[in-house]
DNA sequence: ATGATGACCGCGG
DNA sequence: TCCGCGGCCATCA
């Protein structure tokens, strides 16, 4: 993939993520597709991973296609993401499965 | 150059 | 629902 497109890819993916409404979630794959880069779900994760801590981007509204948080359930990151989502009204089942609150069906 | 590693995905069993 | 497997694509040792 060309370098110039890399920039476009990141820019568009951030735009898409920023468009996810409060209380709703979207999967990595969906973000990639809507950004115009199907098959780049892993890239989304890679970008969020390097996101600066002070970023205001709602990274926590991105979960995997199984409607689950992609961090180990015992990790701090998992707790943080879950807490942020619950603060917006997102509900989890006992097995940490997120209720059907996907932005894009 | 090559193989391992991810904040992944979809299909089966 | 829970696993395993193959496919996917960039990054790094």
| Parallel/antiparallel/unpaired status of strands A62-63 and A26-27 | parallel
- Split at pLDDT 50, 70, 90, the class of A6 is confident
Residue nearest to nucleotide C11 (CA to C1'): A46
Nucleotides of C under 7 A from a protein CB: 1-2, 8-11
Q: Which of A75, A2, A57, A59 is nearest to A25 (CA)?
A: A59
Which pLDDT belongs to residue A100?
84
> Considering chain A, what is the average pLDDT of its residues?
94
- pTM equals 0.94
Instruction: With cut-offs at 50, 70 and 90, classify the pLDDT of residue A105.
Output: low
Q: For the residues of A22-67, what is the DSSP string, one character each? A: TT-BEEHHHHHHHTT-TT-HHHHHHHHHT--TT--S-GGGEE-TTS
The nt closest to A59 (CA vs C1′) is: B7
Separation of CA A4 and C1' B6 in angstroms? 23
């Amino acid at each position: 993939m060309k370098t110039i497109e890399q920039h476009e890819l990141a820019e568009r993916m951030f735009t898409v993520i920023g468009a996810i409404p409060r209380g709703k979630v979207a999967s990595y794959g969906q973000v990639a597709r809507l950004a115009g880069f199907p098959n780049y779900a892993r890239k989304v994760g890679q970008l969020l991973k390097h996101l600066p801590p002070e970023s205001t981007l709602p990274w926590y509204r991105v979960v995997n296609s199984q409607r689950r948080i992609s961090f180990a359930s015992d990790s701090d990151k998992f707790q943080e993401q879950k807490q942020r989502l619950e603060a917006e009204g997102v509900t989890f089942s006992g097995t940490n499965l997120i209720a059907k609150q996907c932005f894009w069906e």
